Amino acid sequence: MTDFDTDGLEEFFAAARATPAPLPPDLQARILADAAALMPAAPLAWHRALWQLLGGAAGISGLVTATAVGVWLGVAPPAQLPDLAGQVVSGEIGLADSSEFETGALMSVYGWDMEES
Amino acid sequence: MQILPDDQRDADAELLQRYANGDATAARLLTARLAPRLHGHALRVLGDRAEAEDVAQEAMLRLWRQAPDWRRGEAKVSTWLYRVVANLCTDRLRRRNTGAVSGGLDAVAEPADPTPGAAQKMQQAARADALQQALQSLPDRQRQAVVLRHIEGLTNPEIAEIFEVGIEAVESLTARGKRALAAQLLAQRDALGFEDDGF
């Protein structure tokens, strides 16, 4: 078979290209129905995404409750607990400066200088 | 997989990204761009309307499922889809009995339009039908390669990517397929209006 013979096929290919089969409307409808059924939900706005990240209404209410209790304990602690916030505010105690600690003393405090038996 | 340069950005991949972000319009555009080509390819390879529709729907279904995980820049959406269709067609052809094959004029070409120029259209339809009949006699890979190259208009590198073979293998498939087609269609040249075409 020569190239001349196969070259003649182009007329057939051209005829095939000129008579494309149309996409049946019901097939198009089925494809679009599949697309609708499988389409991922649109991404949320940032505030809704944050809301869901924190667990929604239940998560947010727990977070607010925990925060309020923490503030309450800091401002008005029960009698049996030291009032650390009040002492700091009044200047009775100050925040520790880490440079005041000697490394060796810290190691002893944490037990890092103990040798394993 | 082939990495596409920036100047060959895949518009279908951008639409698929929009679909993955919940844009229903993108799904309609993708369907309009891709489904007719997939359906046409399956119809020419399988020669059966119902099976071709099933294959096209299944291929698009797999695309929708893949959308959230689609990795842009690795392969063109159309190439990926043609590969899915080619494999689905191969599976169906393997399941068929080796006896009867479909693929006549009724399976592919629409009836000729009875308007001026109808004779030319009828001749064109007859040639397309003869080609379709001849295509059905080719082995699966040869048939798909010829359809993709000479009817769908894909390049050899694209077909090589679809079949996951080398370009030389594609050239061999199409060459052998065309020789077999020519041998069959040569006998019908007079009936198909090729008396003066030198075919």
The angle that helices B24-46 and B118-135 make with each other, rounded to 10 degrees, is 70
Facing residue for B61 by CB, picked from A13, A34, A40: A34
What tokens were used for B61? Answer: 């279904």
Assigned domain for A11 exists: yes
Assigned domain for A34 exists: yes
Look at A94-103, B42-51, B80-89, B114-123 and tell me which has the smallest mean pLDDT: A94-103
Assigned domain for A111 exists: no
Averaged pLDDT, B55-60: 98
Indicate if the pLDDT at residue B170 is higher than 90.
yes
Indicate if the pLDDT at residue B7 is higher than 50.
no
Residue A43 pLDDT grade (very low, low, confident, very high; cuts 50, 70, 90): low
- Do B83 and B105 touch, CB atoms closer than 8 A? no
What local confidence, expressed as pLDDT, does residue B1 receive?
A: 45
ipTM of the complex: 0.80
Indicate if the pLDDT at residue A113 is higher than 50.
yes
Alpha carbons B195 and B199: distance in angstroms, whole number: 8
Residue A25: list chain B partners with CB under 8 A: none
Indicate if the pLDDT at residue A75 is higher than 90.
no
Assigned domain for A25 exists: yes
Assigned domain for A28 exists: yes
Alpha carbons A28 and B39: distance in angstroms, whole number: 10
Indicate if the pLDDT at residue B149 is higher than 50.
yes
Of all residues in chain B, the one with the smallest CA distance to A36 is B24
CA nearest neighbour of B84 among B49, B155, B34, B48: B34
User: CATH fold of B6-188, please?
Assistant: Rna Polymerase Sigma Factor; Chain: A (1.10.1740)
Averaged pLDDT, A66-91: 76
Assigned domain for A16 exists: yes
> Residues in chain B, how many?
199
Expressed as residue numbers, the domain containing A18 is 3-38
Give the Å distances, CA to CA, from B149 to B8, B45, B47, B60, B172.
20, 13, 18, 22, 12
Mean pLDDT in chain B?
A: 85
Render pLDDT for B73-127 as a digit per residue (tens, 0 to 9): 778 999 999 999 999 999 999 987 554 445 443 445 444 455 557 777 788 888 8
**Domain total of chain A:** 1
Residue A15: list chain B partners with CB under 8 A: 124-125, 127-128, 131
- 10 Å CB burial of residue A27 (0-12, 13-18, 19+) is buried
CA nearest neighbour of A30 among B59, B126, B90: B59
Assigned domain for A30 exists: yes
The angle that helices B11-20 and B77-95 make with each other, rounded to 10 degrees, is 90
Residue contact A23–B124, C-beta within 8 A = no
Domain residue spans of chain B:
6-188
